Amino acid sequence: MMTNFDVIIVGGGPAGYTAAIYTARQKLKTLLLTQTSGGQMVYTDNIENYPGFEKISGVKLLEIFRKQLSQYSDAKIIEGQKAESLKMKDQFFKVTTDKDKYQGKTIIIAAGKVPRHLNVSGEKELENKGVSYCPTCDGPLFTNKSVAVVGGGNSAIEAVLQLSKYTQEIYLLNIGPTLSGEKIRIEKIEKDPKVKIIGNAQVQEVFGLKLLEGLRYKDTKSGQIKDLKISGMFVEIGYLPATDWLKGVVELNKWGEIIIDEKGKTSLEGVFACGDITQVPYKQIVIACGQGAIAALSASNYLQEQQ
């Protein structure tokens, strides 16, 4: 078991990094524990609504967060570990990961969300063989090829904008009749000759021998079943909160999000939460950062009260 910490922050996205910066500035012995740093932010090529930057990539913004946190000797980052349980033991919280165990006087949960899957035939078998959930990571692999993006919101539209730099042809399959993202971005892809928007499209299955070769979808308006020949499919239909390991530990809403109050407190005293994993609406980087600051200050006040 690692040395005891004042604060353990689970999750390395914008909320987690902001919380760590704030707790470290309070001279609290801080552990930032995460599978990967950056969260959904690093999958975004162009962030245009974060104050202070007219345009910046998620990867670059993460670099700035990391550099800022590195100034504080009271903060330690451990990556590559997935939190699996949270328990109270001898007035300490114990976080168990897939590799180790850690103890802290207080916990901030900022684990964010994970991509939602289509759960159709062939999807699991062809994951990383043409089926992807990260256009930033895998987009260049499909240079001059035909791909499909499944989804109709901002994440799907952002994926199309990123993939347009590499691919030859993009099919955007939306289960609804119209797209629901930002109007400015929708206008961009509507003008892109590479992009074909297909509404009322429900993916039925994906297929291929060793690599993805195509997908089959149903036109929900006409009832027709149609095939598309593609080399890549990017699933962008939203995200699920990463709270499986917290069921029965803190109160969750019907969507699996952690319920918090205005100070970031959960139903378990000494445990706070922030960012996309909570029930707070409008999942935005700037909001996650604000919540991270609130959770950190609340955790600091909690420790002072305990003393």
**Taking a C-beta distance cutoff of 8 angstroms, is the pair 295, 262 a contact?**
no
State the catalytic residue, choosing from 6, 138, 274, 276.
Answer: 138
For residue 134, indicate whether it is catalytic.
yes
Could you give the CA distance from residue 8 to residue 100 in angstroms, rounded to a whole number?
A: 14
State the catalytic residue, choosing from 137, 227, 244, 261.
Answer: 137
State the catalytic residue, choosing from 74, 134, 192, 219.
Answer: 134
- Name the strand (E) or helix (H) holding 95: strand 92-97
Which class for 229: exposed (0-12), middle (13-18), buried (19 or more C-beta within 10 A)? exposed
Q: Cβ contacts of residue 10 below 8 Å, gap of 6+?
A: 16, 33, 34, 83, 86, 95, 107, 108, 109, 110, 111
Token pair of 266 as six digits: 């959960």
For residue 289, indicate whether it is catalytic.
no
- DSSP letters, 267-296, are SSTTEEE-GGGBS-SS--HHHHHHHHHHHH
Query: Roughly how many angstroms between the first and final C-alpha of the chain, as a whole number?
Result: 24
Alpha carbon distances (Å) from 175 to 205, 211, 288? 14, 25, 29
For residue 244, indicate whether it is catalytic.
no
Could you give the CA distance from residue 264 to residue 81 in angstroms, rounded to a whole number?
A: 24
Could you give the CA distance from residue 166 to residue 141 in angstroms, rounded to a whole number?
A: 8
| C-alpha 50: how far from chain center | 17
Token pair of 116 as six digits: 């939602």
**Taking a C-beta distance cutoff of 8 angstroms, is the pair 232, 212 a contact?**
yes
**Taking a C-beta distance cutoff of 8 angstroms, is the pair 172, 195 a contact?**
yes
Active site residues: 134, 137-138
